[in-house]
Chains A and B, each alone.
Chain A
Amino acid sequence: MDIQFVRLEEKLPPREYKSDLEPTWCPGCGDFGVVTALTRAFSEEKLDPSALSLVSGIGCSSRLPLWMNAFGLHSCHGRAVPAAVGVRLAKPEIPTIVTAGDGDLFSIGMEHFPHAARKNFNMVVISMDNRMYALTKNQVSPTSRKGYKGSLTPYGNIDEPFNVLAFSIASGATFVAQTYAGNPKHMTEIIEKAIEHPGFAFVNILSPCPTYNKIDTFKYYKGRLIDINNELGHDPSDKEKANYYAEHALDADNPDAENLEPFHGKVPIGVFYQTRKETFEEKVAKLKEQYKPENPDTVWDEILNKYKP
């Protein structure tokens, strides 16, 4: 069963997807790049601003829907994914994109992500990963590197970072990719692929916070990225290889990363994994078809007759 998204006949210019609001982000924030990439991808995909929903939680990154010309739901901290599930259940023809932070998705909202992934809801989930909590002024997040100094961990993070890519694959996401806020072209391509992918598409965007995070900066990423598809020839349908690459995605944090296979100190970007499975929406549509009443006019007589004494 094919559920088509609402699309326009003609492309709209990318700026048509911006609202009149100027982002309140700090100058140089990586999240600006995400807005640019999204507007380009929406334009390419001919999405209709009046039939498109962007759902977020709370955080610097989660403000993104406010800067966009589309239906947005800026919900509660951690609840972007289930709020988006609500949109999916209500209107499967409306493309739904979650735009939230690493803290929002993988700390307070952690209980939701793997379920939406394993159920394979047809939506895109973008994590703007600055590897910390920015809105609350610098605390560690689940993706913070070891040793990172947050306001509540002034002695440095004593935990290992959480590997969101490996986790997404394990959760059952059918599209898993990583891209970088400093590379609008790659970001746009990946987002387009994610939108086109029928199923749960997770895109981790490395998006620096120049105000607080002085380690995971644009400078740090410069020259340190490796495109696993183009440079290493990775085929996303190869799950074993996808898992292997994902497992090593955080190796660059390591002091002796240079010597580590397969990335030798580089940070991988690209599509790690992609497979086609029936989406949740397709399965529900089938059920509805299967149980649809023969005669809608008499459906209530049938229902009520069951309760007659």
Chain B
Amino acid sequence: MAFDLTIKYAGEGGEGVISSGDFTMRAAANLGYDVVTFKSFPAEIKGGYALSQVRISDEKILSQGDGFDILVAFNGEAYEVNKPLLRKGNVLIWDGPEGGDFEPEIEELEEKGVILYAVPMSKLAKEEVGAYITKNVIAMASVFTLFDFPIEVLKEEIVKKFSRKGEDVVNLNFKAIEVAQKYIKENIKKIDPYKLPGPKPKKDVIIVEGNEAIALGAAAAGVKVFAAYPITPATTVGNYLAPIILKTGGYVYQAEDEISSMAIVVGASFAGVKAMTATSGPGVSLMQELIGLASMTETPAVIVDVQRGGPSTGMPTKHDQADLFAAALGGHGDDQRVVIAPTNVEENFHLTIEAFNLAERYQLPVLFLTDASLSLRAEAIPTPNIKEIQSKLIERPTLKKGEVNPEDIQNIYRYQITEDGLSPFLAPGESPKPYTATGLEHGENSYPRTTPKERTEMMDKRFRKIQNIEDENPHLIEWDLGDLQEGEKADIAIITWGLTASIAKEAIQRLRKKGIKVAALYPKLVYPVPKKAIEKVASMADIVLVPEANYMGHLAKFIRMFTDVPPSKIVQFNIYRGEPFIPKEIEEKVEELLGKQVQA
């Protein structure tokens, strides 16, 4: 049985809840474990309920899991919020028996089978350490001591983080660790079974959050202009990129609004460099006209949409997957766009690079749909080999001065009609032949044209570019068949996207252990809809379950709209509460569906 432990720190924002999770995660990663964190901040700047949950395993972690094993409650609110979630076998570490602001229902919980340890974090911090701000260090050190995490690793992390602030700060934190260790030793009798098995071989990893991974991916892809307007939960993409991009030769520009951001992206890319923006739903709404301009002028552009709960201002810090319609079909007229969606942090990195590759290859806007939860989720991902990545980047076919004979230049057109629809790119300062990119319908030479023949030819040309996009990008469609062969009969097919896919994956593994045959497909290319793969996986079962964190069932509707999967087979499964699925929900949904089917 694999080792799998989830620790949740919860309390008031600003009390060190989030950094407790970060320290614990780093320590575990340093010991060679796989880690995934889930954090939630209040929308308020200060105060409010905050949580940081760390899942630690010696196997690849797919999702944040169903719940937690250990809860560290910093205050009464954290306790109240999490009390209904406490199960048999869980450990509750709480701020008591004195000095805290609450008292748990000890008897009731013990009856339930919850193990309680009272550690007076506030009191120890105030009285023994003499600094209330060390409360979270007491909490962490208690966790480390109780569950056999080597305390030296925590000390190393503290040195790393605080050595800049001076020896006094480091010593204060060390003192808090000692106080906690002493308290646990003298007062707590361990009766739970949780214990970290000891260090594993260290892996070459980096620890990054979802939005950090996007920033790194963009820099690795060679982005030169990043223009954006602040919006939760997308702002941090720019925050992370700003210092990096100066070193890699670009610039992060804070624009006056999202319309400007997108116009800047089009202008910069028209000038011949890679450009992107990052925003959330409200920003995408403002950008739509200019995304259409990128389509019409065949200008590569990358638009990151870190989805949040909508519509309107909605729930700015909460999880949602409801921008797919807007991303794919939000423009006016028949425009050409590509929408891709990562399912985890590692893909946030690699698919950002892929977004640039697709934009450059097909000369069009690529929308990258991630979400609020994924933006804050941290994972330890294999350290990327940037040199190798950069050697494989796809670049637009810019015609350079001196590359063509002067007499041939007149036969080169920016919108040359070709079999695959792709035309040469021309850039100021690089190419020998100027042209004017226009949002008006145009001929091959970019001159405005409206004859029925030319209009039809140009529209066909532009759509031809992405006609075979599914076949050309098999790596953007993940098959998960378990022991099944393609086409073999399964009990159920599951198709899902984004963060929900990584959660479904965990549920599917559990279902397979129970003998249920599941054929699953996780399209990273969500639009144009990968018709062939979807039809194939759907053909393997009588039920096609599509779990999504949105009300309308965006992907499910796309499957009806763009594929020949019989609509009667498609079962939507939607949550829209502002939190991601947990694996258990999907597991139970499948069991419910299959149970019903057996009875029928």
Contacts and interface: CB of A to CB of B under 8 A. Distances in A.
Contact of B434 (A72, A85, A284, A309): A72
B418 interface: no
B303 to A, nearest CB: 14
Interface in A54-70: 54-55, 58, 65-66, 68-70
B428 interface: yes
B206 A308 contact: yes
B164 to A, nearest CB: 13
A83 B251 contact: no
Contacts of B264: 82-83, 85-86, 89
A50 B438 contact: no
B447 interface: yes
A73 B224 CA distance: 19
A172 to B, nearest CB: 13
A86 B227 contact: yes
Contacts of A302: 247
A244 to B, nearest CB: 29
B470 to A, nearest CB: 31
A74 B440 contact: yes
A129 to B, nearest CB: 22
Contacts of A90: 224-225, 267-269, 271-273, 275
Contact of A93 (B29, B257, B429): B429
Interface stretch (B380-388, B482-490, B498-506, B571-579): B380-388
A271 interface: no
Nearest to B273: A90
A304 B266 contact: no
Contacts of A309: 26, 29-30, 205-207, 380
Contacts of A72: 434-438
Interface in A281-309: 284, 287-288, 291-293, 299-300, 302-304, 307-309
Given A79-B263, A91-B273, A303-B244, A74 B205 contact: no
Interface in B200-225: 205-208, 212, 216, 219-220, 224-225
B433 interface: yes
Nearest to B153: A309
Given A76-B293, A82-B264, A304-B384, A288 B249 contact: yes
B267 A6 contact: no
Given A69-B434, A82-B263, A87 B271 contact: yes
B227 A68 contact: no
B248 interface: yes
B13 to A, nearest CB: 25
Contact of B266 (A21, A54, A86, A307): A86
Contacts of B269: 86, 90
Interface size class on chain A is: 35 or more
B434 A307 contact: no
Q: Which of B207, B264, B401 gathers the greatest number of chain A CB atoms within 10 Å?
A: B264
Given A76-B289, A86-B266, A308 B225 contact: no
Q: Which of B205, B243, B436 gathers the greatest number of chain A CB atoms within 10 Å?
A: B436
B99 interface: no
B238 to A, nearest CB: 14
Given A91-B273, A309-B30, A75 B439 contact: yes
A112 interface: yes
Given A85-B264, A284-B251, A71 B434 contact: yes
B351 interface: no
Interface in B12-30: 26, 29-30
B267 A66 contact: no
B43 interface: no
A280 to B, nearest CB: 9
Interface string B221-241: 000110100000000000000
A6 B447 CA distance: 26
Contacts of A12: none
B330 interface: no
Contact of B290 (A49, A50, A79, A94): A79
A83 B289 CA distance: 13
A268 B16 CA distance: 64
A111 interface: yes
Nearest to B261: A82
Contacts of A53: 271, 428
Nearest to A69: B434
Contacts of A54: 436
A115 B256 contact: yes
B93 to A, nearest CB: 24
B593 interface: no
B78 to A, nearest CB: 27
Contacts of B433: 50
Contacts of B440: 74
Q: Which of A53, A79, A82 gathers the greatest number of chain B CB atoms within 10 Å?
A: A82
Interface string A251-294: 00000000000000000000000000000000010011001110
B267 A83 contact: yes
A51 interface: yes
B246 interface: yes
Contacts of A70: 434, 436
A83 B432 CA distance: 22
A84 interface: yes
Given A83-B267, A112-B260, A307 B208 contact: yes
Interface string A233-260: 0000000000000000000000000000
A299 B248 contact: yes
B519 to A, nearest CB: 36
A3 to B, nearest CB: 13
A91 B428 contact: yes
B130 interface: no
B247 A74 contact: no
B175 to A, nearest CB: 25
A74 B251 CA distance: 24
Given A299-B247, A309-B207, A85 B267 contact: yes
A201 interface: no
Contact of B267 (A55, A93, A304): A55
A111 B229 CA distance: 13
A133 to B, nearest CB: 18
Contact of A73 (B248, B257, B270, B380): B270
Contacts of A304: 206, 216, 383-384, 386
Contacts of A49: 434
Q: Which of A94, A111, A309 gathers the greatest number of chain B CB atoms within 10 Å?
A: A309
A83 B263 contact: yes
Contact of A287 (B246, B289, B384, B426): B246
Contact of A84 (B261, B267, B387, B432): B267
Contacts of B212: 307
B208 to A, nearest CB: 6
Contacts of A307: 206-208, 212, 216
B448 interface: yes
B118 interface: no
Nearest to A281: B251
8 contacts: A50-B434, A71-B434, A74-B438, A76-B439, A86-B269, A87-B270, A94-B271, A302-B247
Given A72-B438, A76-B290, 20 more contacts: A19-B436, A50-B401, A51-B429, A66-B438, A71-B427, A71-B435, A73-B267, A73-B270, A74-B439, A82-B255, A82-B259, A83-B264, A85-B263, A90-B268, A90-B269, A90-B271, A91-B429, A111-B260, A288-B249, A300-B220
* The 10 A-B residue pairs with the shortest CB-CB distance in the complex, in nearest-first order: A86-B267, A72-B436, A82-B263, A307-B206, A86-B268, A83-B267, A90-B271, A86-B264, A71-B428, A90-B268
Interface of A: 6, 19, 21, 49-55, 58, 65-66, 68-76, 78-79, 82-87, 89-91, 93-94, 111-112, 115, 284, 287-288, 291-293, 299-300, 302-304, 307-309
